[in-house]
Amino acid sequence: MSNTLPSSVSGFTPIPVAYSSSCTHILYATAHKNKKKLTRKNKSSTLPDERTLFLVNVPPDATEREITQFFNPAGLVERVVFEGQGFDENTRVESENESDSEEIEEESESEGGSDDENHPRKKRKVTKESKPAAPEVKPIPFPTLRTYHKTGGTAHVIFLEPSSIARALSPLSKPRPWPSDSEAPSGLSHYKALYASLRPPLDVVKDHADSYMESYEYEQAKKKQKSKHKKGEAIVDEDGFTLVTRGGAYGKTVGGGVGIASKKFQNEARRGGSGKRSRKNKKEPQEKEDFYAFQVHEKKRKELIGIKERWEQDKANIAKMKASRKYKPY
């Protein structure tokens, strides 16, 4: 194999990475562009256009630290945002859905760019919802363990200086060795560490759970206060309209308002043909089917044709199976 890498592949610069003398991994890099998405709110602040490098085919076991070190020669790295950052198994589905709904262009460049922007944004949203800023929650300490990403995945590297991008994209004369982070174990030691970290001491679990519940209750109480309304009380707005809400956990509306039928009830009603309609159906006079002689004839005729059709179908089936020599028992 000739050792010359092409200088560009579909607009991406291949960066050879040496893991060992015999093995070269290829990173594909390009400058990150926000293009279309600029119109949307708060985008540029997340991934600054001018100093973000977009990477494809990140090694599955790469850590933020390793990437930072690897690009050190090009400049200081502020942070690394991995694809999806969270639940690996969902990224694919999501990206597919996105390309469906948002109609991303087929061009790989823009696809890559737009695709990646979404993850951090979403991630952020999710975390905001899940953890109401309650300083009291005591986290369960988690050691620095590698997170194995899917192979061929992407990442954004945000440099401190915009000038680093050009340096990072300049072709390498020979593969640059990968800086392995010795603090994050791999292989068997990784699994042992992971096993241990998932079984924290009981007092840590207790502290975490208790503090979480405290903060949760605090948030709930705050919400309740905010809504000013008490359980079961009708909420009447300035115009005199009463707010109607669905029943809460145990038939009572949590945040106030007048309760209506539970969802279950509604679903059932719909399944069996919702209330009104079913009553209507019953009353509707049924068309008499066997009233006129022609109806009877027609019915019989149809039946007979049906019989014949089935018969012919059976015959065709058997003939087909016969052709495949199925009826040679031995």
Partner 1 sequence: MTAIHKRKRVKVEVAPSESHKPEKRPRKTKGNMQDGSNVHDEIRSETRIDITNVQDDDGLDIQSQESGEEDEWIGFGDEESTVREPKPEAALDSQHKSNRPPTALELRDIKDASNLYRSSSFKLQIDALLPNVRPKYHRVAPLERFLHGLHACLTSAPPTSPISPLVASKKLRKQGIHVPYPLPEPTEDAKWTVAFTKPVDIVLAGSWANKLSVKSRDAEKYMVDVALEMPSKVPAYEDAHTLLRVWANQRGYGRGSRMCVRGFEGSGQLWAAVLDLLVHGEDPSHNALNGTVNKRKPVGTGLSSYQLFRAALDFLARSDLPGLRAFVKNTNGHRFPAGDYDTFDAVLVDSQSPFNHLAGIPLGSLSLLQRDAKATLEALNESALSEDPFNEVFLKEHRDIQTRFDVVMRIDLNSAKLRNKSVHTVLDQGSSYTMLLSTVDSTLRTALGNRAKSVTILHPTSQPWALSDAPPLGSPVIFIGLILDTEQAFRLVDHGPAEDSPDPEAAKAFQEFWGDKAELRRFKDGKITESVVWNVKTSDERAHIPFFICAHILQRHCGIPEGQVQHWQRSFDNLLRLPESITSLYQAEGVEMGFKAALAAFDSLVKTIKGLDDKLPLAVLNVSPASDALRYTSAFSPIALPDSVLPSIPYTAQYLQPMEIVIEFEKSARWPDELRAIQKLKLAFFEYLASTLMTAVSGLKANVVLGNPATTPDIQDSCSLEIKTPQGWVFNARIWHDREAKLLDTAIDDKPHIPAHIKKKLSEEINLKGRQIATEAKEVYLRRFVHAPRHHRAIAALSHRFSAFSGTVRLVKRWLSAHWLLDTHISGEAVELLCAVAFVGRGKKVANPTQLVDVPGTKERAFFKVVDFLKDWEWEGGLFVPLYGDDQVNDTETALAAPVAIKGAAWTIATEFDPAGRMWTSHGPDPIAARRVTAIAKATWQCSLGVEGAGYNVATLFTHPQADYDILIDLEPSVLPRYSQNLHGNIDLREGRSFANAQRSEEIAPLGFDPARMLFDDLTRTYQDTIKVFYDCLGGDRFGIIWEPSVTDPKPFRVMNRFSSTPVRKNDEQGKDKEKMVTLNTESILSEMERLGAGLIKTITQQK
Instruction: Confirm if 257 and 232 have CB atoms less than 8 A apart.
Output: no
- In the list 1, 45, 276, 283, the residue contacting partner 1 (rule: CB under 8 A) is 1
Q: Does 94 bind partner 1 (CB under 8 A)?
A: yes
Binding part of the chain for partner 1, among 37-45, 66-74, 82-90, 234-242 by CB under 8 A, reads 82-90
Of residues 48 and 248, the one with the C-beta less far from partner 1: 248
Binding letters toward partner 1, positions 143-162, x by CB under 8 A: ----xxxxxx-x--------
Locate the DSSP E strands across the chain: 13-18, 24-31, 52-58, 77-82, 153-159, 176-177, 244-246, 258-260
Pairing of strands 153-159, 176-177: unpaired
If binding is defined by CB under 8 A, does position 267 make contact with partner 1? yes
Interaction residues for partner 1, span 20-59 (CB under 8 A): 20, 22-26, 28, 56-57, 59
Q: Which amino acid is it at 30?
A: T
- By the rule CB under 8 A, 19 interacts with partner 1: yes
Q: Which of 32, 52, 81, 115 binds partner 1 (CB under 8 A)?
A: 115
Residue 285 C-beta: closest distance to partner 1, Å: 29
Judged by CB under 8 A, the chain residues 168 through 207 that form the site for partner 1 are 186-189, 191-192, 194-196, 198-200, 202, 205-206
- Cβ proximity to partner 1: between 97 and 242 the closer is 97
Which of 255, 270, 247, 143 is CA-nearest to residue 196?
143
Which tokens go with 22? 């015999």
**Residue 12, SS3 per DSSP:** strand
- Report the residue number, 37 or 75, with the smaller CB distance to partner 1: 37
- Which tokens in the block code for residue 283? 């009353």
Q: How many residues in the chain?
A: 330
Least Å distance between CB 313 and partner 1? 9
Structure tokens at 44: 């540029």
Site for partner 1 in 285-324 (CB under 8 A): 301, 304-305, 307-312, 314-315, 317-318, 321-322
H or E stretch including 189? helix 188-197
Pairing of strands 258-260, 244-246: parallel
Give the number of residues in contact with partner 1, rule: CB under 8 A.
102
Pick the binder of partner 1 from 50, 65, 216, 258 (CB under 8 A).
Answer: 216
CA distance 200 to 79: 29
